[in-house]
Chain A
Amino acid sequence: GAVVSQHPSRVICKSGTSVKIECRSLDFQATTMFWYRQFPKKSLMLMATSNEGSKATYEQGVEKDKFLINHASLTLSTLTVTSAHPEDSSFYICSARIREAFFGQGTRLTVV
Chain B
Amino acid sequence: DAKTTQPNSMESNEEEPVHLPCNHSTISGTDYIHWYRQLPSQGPEYVIHGLTSNVNNRMASLAIAEDRKSSTLILHRATLRDAAVYYCIPSEDTGKLIFGQGTTLQVKP
Decide: B95 and A44 in contact? CB cutoff 8 A: no
Q: Report B34-50 residues with CB < 8 Å from chain A CB.
A: 34, 36, 38, 41-46, 49
Chain B interface size range: 20 to 34
Decide: A99 and B100 in contact? CB cutoff 8 A: no
Chain A residues in 8 Å Cβ range of B42 = 105-106
Q: With the chains together, A108 CA to B40 CA distance in Å?
A: 12
How many contacting A-B pairs (Cβ < 8 A)?
A: 53
Decide: A100 and B49 in contact? CB cutoff 8 A: yes
Interface status of A13 (Cβ within 8 A of chain B): no
Decide: A100 and B99 in contact? CB cutoff 8 A: no
Q: Report A55-112 residues with CB < 8 Å from chain B CB.
A: 91, 93, 95, 97, 99-106, 108
**Min CB–CB distance B103 → chain A (angstroms):** 11
Q: A95-B97, A97-B95 are in contact. Are A43 and B43 (CB under 8 A)?
A: no
- 27 interchain pairs, CB-CB under 8 A: A4-B43, A32-B95, A34-B96, A34-B97, A36-B99, A43-B85, A43-B99, A43-B100, A44-B38, A44-B99, A45-B99, A46-B96, A91-B41, A93-B43, A95-B97, A97-B97, A99-B49, A99-B93, A100-B46, A101-B97, A102-B46, A103-B43, A103-B44, A103-B45, A105-B43, A106-B42, A108-B41
